[in-house]
Amino acid sequence: MMFTGIVEETGVISRIDRGEHSAVLNIRAKTVLEGTETGDSIAVNGICLTVTNLGESFCADVMHETLNRSAFAGLSVGSTVNLERAMRADGRFGGHIVSGHVDGTGSITDIRRDDNAVWYTVSAAGEVMRYIVEKGSVTIDGISLTVAKVSNTGFSVSAIPHTVKYTNLCLRKKGDMVNIETDIIGRYVEKLMQPAVQEEKKSTLTKEMLSYYGF
């Protein structure tokens, strides 16, 4: 399954049924429900979820691993979320390759207006920052953005008014936690650059064999 980070609409959490280590979300939406069937995938704040029920809203299960790795724990009834259906084979590729599997979370440390743009600075852990590069791509809550600046502890992006208006960026404030997915290409390159680990070959030499040959 693949997404592009181009948010189609925002939805609203209308209900959350929480289990001991899981949750079921009910999300009111419109555009992303068109042509969608049960079993299809929708990215919710950048996380790929499977539609389990459809009506004027849709339901999706959230597993323990997702809750641990994402900012979903901070969602509540009334929260606004970014929504994108999985990319069609004949669709336009407007953003970058997004898997819908977040790498971790970050915290918004600064929001600053700059003429017609809005700068967002996000702090993140080292295991996330190692894949963040200046002028590279990053996904914040499912939004494909270009990294403008990088430091040891965080990065900044500059969002145009259209992106801010039609996503939940317009509601974000300092201290908010966001989902981060780094560019998957960087992770593949890192993996391919690592030397292959070869399984140690087991010796066929035995005590009986040595004795047979006079040793």
For residue range 101-138, what is the model confidence (pLDDT) as tens digits? 999 999 999 999 988 899 999 999 999 999 999 999 99
pTM of the model: 0.85
With the CA atoms of 88, 92, 96 and 98 taken in that order, what torsion angle do they form, in degrees rounded to the nearest 10? -10
Q: What does the alpha-carbon distance between residue 198 and residue 68 come to, in Å, rounded to a whole number?
A: 33
Residue tagged 């391919």 (tokens): 192
| pLDDT of 213 higher than 70 | no
Q: What does the alpha-carbon distance between residue 18 and residue 174 come to, in Å, rounded to a whole number?
A: 27
Return the closest-CA partner of residue 71 out of 182, 178, 181, 167. 178
Which stretch of DSSP H or E encloses residue 191? helix 184-193
Rg (CA), the chain: 22
What is the dihedral sign for C-alpha 162, 168, 173, 177? negative
Return the closest-CA partner of residue 46 out of 118, 124, 98. 98
For residue range 37-66, what is the model confidence (pLDDT) as tens digits? 999 999 999 999 999 999 999 999 999 888
